[in-house]
Amino acid sequence: MGWLTEWRRRRVLAKHRIDDALWQRATRPLAFLPRTPKLRELALLFLAEKDFVGAHEL
């Protein structure tokens, strides 16, 4: 990883957080998912970059 990518990753992880109760509620029904910190980190990084837009009356 380049230094800029690593800096951005650390910045996002420090700024954003998935609440423990919410994370447990989301992963509990999916027993096949490993409950590792890396999975949580990947989900957080994905959500930090995701743009949610409406369908504008479609």
Average pLDDT over residues 12-38: 88
Tallying the residues shown for the chain, one arrives at: 58
Percent of the chain with pLDDT over 90: 36
Q: 1 pLDDT band (50/70/90 cuts)? A: low
For helices 37-49 and 3-15, the axis angle rounded to 10 degrees is: 90
How far apart are the C-alpha atoms of 14 and 39, rounded to whole Å? 16
The average pLDDT across 6-35 equals 88
Q: Is the pLDDT of residue 56 over 80?
A: no
CB 45 within 8 A of CB 9: yes
pTM over 0.95: no
